[in-house]
Amino acid sequence: MTRTLPIILGLLLAACGETPPESKAPAAAKPALSVTAVQPQTLDWPQTLTAGGNVAAWQEAIIGPEIANHRIVEVRAGVGDVVVRGHLLARIAPETVEAEFAETRAGVAEAEAGLSEARASLERARQLRDKGFYSAQQLTQAQAAAETAQARLAAAQARRQSAGLRKSKTEVLAPDAGIISARGATVGATVQPGQELFRLIRGGRLEWRAEVAAADLSRLRPGVSASVTTPAGERLEGKVRVLAPTVDTRTHTALVYVDLPADAARRISAGMFARGEFRLGAKPALTVPQSALLLREGFAYVFRIESDKLREVKVTPGRRVEDRVEVAGLDPASRVVASGVGFLADGDVVRVVNTETKPGK
């Protein structure tokens, strides 16, 4: 009976709408979240323009035969070989050409003998004409024969020179120093006019042909520094040589030609696609740590600390350098939450436990 009295009393109080004294307790206050605050910093950051484009040879020389219908008997160069001016690339069978050259030399000797005989005949004709034994007509004929012999000798000498030139073309030589980028020559093949035997990257020089939007062309000029990233992650430093004078009407982009360093061919290949950036000088930037940004539904936000509450502020991110990012739309005097923003919401009550004063990088 003693144990049931408190229970009956509780039931009666509940029926009357009253709470037993022991069940009344104050509501617990929502605990404040601990955050670290940071103040945006204005830093002088380099301005860059990012672009992509293909790597190509600065100039490419196509090397072909200068004589036709002769066999290749030796190939001395392959793709990737570094050659100098005059380097022997291939040899063409010389037998037929040498025989033609020997024939022309014999023709010159024959023409020289004919000229010597014609000159001697002319001299005798002159002597006999002076003694009255030859007529003027016969002297004229002797002079014409001598002049004809002289012309025949000149023609024979020209044929010999041409044959000698053809003989020298049995050796295919590099017209300049550079790197062999393609080879079509094979032993036993018969060369034809216009055939490509080798392709040469002159000087081994490569260039980056960046595709830049027409609206950004005014920001570039010859001499601007550029940095190109190879597929292996290596950076190549170059300079703008020239801007294309025309814009593609379909893509609304123009080519910007960037000279790459002399040893670029050892680190990147012609035909590769590469990305890079142009350095356009420094410009002040209001920056916050990347950890202070909350990315949601394609937009960026920071949490500004106002007294002991948070206010969500929409910002526009810009350039990024290491662990900091440029933002627009934020008061430079604001204090924002430095990290852990993914667990916060607008209006949260917070307690600042530390303020970062580390300078931006």
Burial class (CB in 10 A: 0-12, 13-18, 19+), 55: buried
Per DSSP, 341 falls in state G
Please report which confidence band the pLDDT of residue 115 belongs to, taking 50, 70 and 90 as the band edges. Answer: confident
In a domain, 17, yes or no: no
Report which of residues 5 and 200 the model is more confident about: 200
301: pLDDT strictly greater than 70 = yes
In a domain, 5, yes or no: no
Q: How far apart are CA 286 and CA 324, in angstroms?
A: 10
Burial class (CB in 10 A: 0-12, 13-18, 19+), 2: exposed
Per DSSP, 44 falls in state E
Q: Is 55 helix (H, G, I), strand (E, B) or coil?
A: strand
Q: Tell me, yes or no, whether 288 and 278 share the same domain.
A: no
Please report which confidence band the pLDDT of residue 108 belongs to, taking 50, 70 and 90 as the band edges. Answer: confident
Q: Tell me, yes or no, whether 191 and 66 share the same domain.
A: yes
67: pLDDT strictly greater than 80 = yes
Q: Tell me, yes or no, whether 186 and 216 share the same domain.
A: no
302: pLDDT strictly greater than 90 = yes
12: pLDDT strictly greater than 60 = no
CATH number where 273 lies: 2.40.30.170
Interval 221-274: pLDDT, tens: 999 999 999 888 899 999 999 999 999 999 999 999 999 998 888 888 899 999
Q: How far apart are CA 52 and CA 135, in angstroms?
A: 88
Residue among 338, 225, 331, 282 nearest 43 (CA): 282
Q: Tell me, yes or no, whether 138 and 94 share the same domain.
A: yes
In a domain, 26, yes or no: no
Kindly report which listed range (8-17, 43-52, 67-76, 147-156) carries the lowest average pLDDT score: 8-17
Percent share of the chain, pLDDT over 90: 43
Which tokens go with 48? 């860059």
pLDDT at position 180 is 93
Q: Tell me, yes or no, whether 117 and 168 share the same domain.
A: yes
As a whole number, mean pLDDT of residues 74-95 equals 91
Total number of domains in the chain: 3
Are the C-beta atoms of residues 305 and 336 closer than 8 Å to each other?
A: yes
pLDDT at position 356 is 65
Are the C-beta atoms of residues 70 and 170 closer than 8 Å to each other?
A: yes
Q: Tell me, yes or no, whether 189 and 221 share the same domain.
A: no
Residue 354 makes CB contacts below 8 A (sequence gap 6+) with 36, 37
Can you give the residue range of the structural domain that contains 348? Answer: 33-46+283-356
pLDDT at position 31 is 57
Q: Tell me, yes or no, whether 148 and 167 share the same domain.
A: yes
Burial class (CB in 10 A: 0-12, 13-18, 19+), 302: buried
Kindly report which listed range (3-17, 88-102, 113-127, 310-324) carries the lowest average pLDDT score: 3-17
Interval 159-190: pLDDT, tens: 888 877 788 888 899 999 999 999 999 999 99
Please report which confidence band the pLDDT of residue 30 belongs to, taking 50, 70 and 90 as the band edges. Answer: low
In a domain, 336, yes or no: yes
In a domain, 148, yes or no: yes
Interval 268-291: pLDDT, tens: 889 999 999 999 888 888 999 999
Q: Tell me, yes or no, whether 70 and 158 share the same domain.
A: yes
In a domain, 135, yes or no: yes
Interval 186-196: pLDDT, tens: 999 999 888 99
Alpha-carbon torsion 41, 42, 46, 48, what sign? Answer: positive
pLDDT at position 13 is 47
pLDDT at position 2 is 46
